Structure 1
Amino acid sequence: MSWKTAYRSFYYAGAEEPDDIALDPETTALLVIDIQNTYLDPKDTPEETARWQPFYERMRKTVIPNTARLIDECRKRKVEVIFARIACLKPDGRDRSLSQKKPGFNYLLLPKELPEGQIVPELEPRSDEIVVTKTTDSALTGTNLRLILHNMGIKDVICCGIFTDQCVSSTVRSLADESFGVVVVDDCGAAATDDLHRRELEIINMIYCHVVSLEEVLTFFR
């Protein structure tokens, strides 16, 4: 099944197939969202670490290797590679948005210099690649990324990263509202479970973005 018919929600079950996508490297950016060391660390208890094991396996076996390849392919094509990461600017985290202060999974006190908050080594940004630090779920709302993209003449954004149902989805919706063309790469991202990942892709597909595979997105470049 191709991207034109996959991930259809109830709203788009009978919709016409979308037009072919053509990406111009000069006006396209790759945005890698929140693939940071902290999310690969063991949890507080062995039981919780075991519960997250499918996520760790997807990250190590699929998401990180595929994202590394996507980054490499974009660099070869002179596509702008941009990274977004969660980190607070104040040691006590009082600059974080409310969504990142709530108790539970989303609570993360991560001062910007800590090793846990850095991009994973396999995807290390180059010295001339932009890394935006966000204290919100959306990389557009919480940074000057919107201005950066406009200043560089970017029209289309390829998104990948974690978590599909949280920061990725929030960023994608913000980009769509700003009239960027958005492509989300299915096998370069993850949610806590595969079910949450797939369900969120179905929700955002066709209206806020087009969901595609790594192999498919590489055929879109002119």
Structure 2
Amino acid sequence: MSWKTRNRSFYYLDAPEPLEPTLDPAATALLVIDVQNTYVERPPREALTSEAGRQQWDAWTPFHTQMSDVVIPNIASALSLFRANRIECVHARIACRTQDGRDRSLSQKKPGFNNLLLPKNERSAQIVPALAPVGDEITVIKTTDSALTGTNLRLTLHNLGIRTVVCAGIFTDQCVASTVRSLADESFEVIVLEDCCAAATAELHAQELAIINMIYCDVMTLAEFADILARRLAAASPTPASAAPLP
């Protein structure tokens, strides 16, 4: 099943197949959202002293496995693909500018999972080394879910001449989805690379992809996107050409 018919919600079961994205490489950017040390580092299971802590550790293991085995390698491949073809790469990370987090948005002060205190210079707030920005790639820091709402990213994308934003990162059902909705409301064409994203569970990931697909974005795999990009580059070249292959 191709991206044109996959990840459909109830609203779009009978909708016609979407058109292929226009995808002008000169007006396209990859946006990698919130893949930071705080989300991928955890203590060894044997270091935990409570049964509740061990149960929580076990519950998060599928996410950590998905991140290490699939999502981070795929995002690294996406970054290599974009860089090889001289297409903009932009990064977003959650980080507050104060040590006590008083500048955080309300959503990051509420109790529970979203209660994040990530001062901008601390290790926990940094992008994971495998996906670190290169050269003068732009990074925005935010204390909001949406990378657009809490930063100057909209203006930056406008100044770069970007019309299509390809999104990757975590969490699919939180910061990724919030960013996608903001971008769509600003009339950017949005693509979400489904195998470059993750939520806390596979079920939440799949549910959110179905919710945002077709109305806010086109959801596809990295390989499907790379195929579209290769054909767009070939069509734009006066001599036969193709996108640099995925690593």
Bigger Cα displacement from structure 2, 39-48 vs 10-19: 39-48
Contact 1:88–1:95 (Cα < 8 Å) also in 2: yes
Cα distance, 1:77 vs structure 2: 1.1
Query: Which runs of no fewer than 5 residues in structure 1 stay unpaired?
Result: none
Pairing partner for 1:132 from 140, 143, 150: 140
**Unpaired segments ≥5 residues, structure 2:** 233-247
Q: 1:88 is matched with which residue: 85, 93, 96? A: 96
Deviation at 1:90, TM superposition (A): 0.7
| Matching residue of 1:156 | 164
Within 5 A, what are the aligned runs for 1:1-222? 1-42=1-42, 45-221=53-229, 222=232
Distance in 2 of aligned mates of 1:108 and 1:20: 38
- For the aligned residue pairs, the C-alpha RMSD in angstroms reads 1.0
Count of residues in correspondence between the two structures: 222
- Identical aligned residues as a percent: 61
Aligned partners of 1:198 and 1:102: how far apart in 2? Answer: 26
* TM-score, normalisation: structure 1: 0.98
Instruction: Report how far residue 220 of structure 1 moved.
Output: 2.0
Cα distance between partner residues in 2 of 1:109 and 1:21: 38
TM value normalised by structure 2: 0.88
State how far apart, in whole Å, the 2-side matches of 1:204 and 1:138 are: 14
* 1:22/1:220 contact within 8 Å kept: no
SS, match of residue 228 in structure 2? coil
CA offset digits 1:9-44 (Å, max 9, x no partner)? 010000000112231111000000000000012277
Deviation at 1:51, TM superposition (A): 1.1
Residue 46 of structure 1 and its aligned partner are, at CA, apart by 2.7
Task: State the SS of the aligned residue for 1:52.
Answer: helix
Look at both structures and tell me which one has the larger radius of gyration over its CA atoms: 2
Query: Structure 1, residues 116-153: CA drift from partner, whole Å, max 9, x if none?
Result: 11110111111310010000000000000000000010
- CA distance in 2 between counterparts of 1:40 and 1:213 reads 22
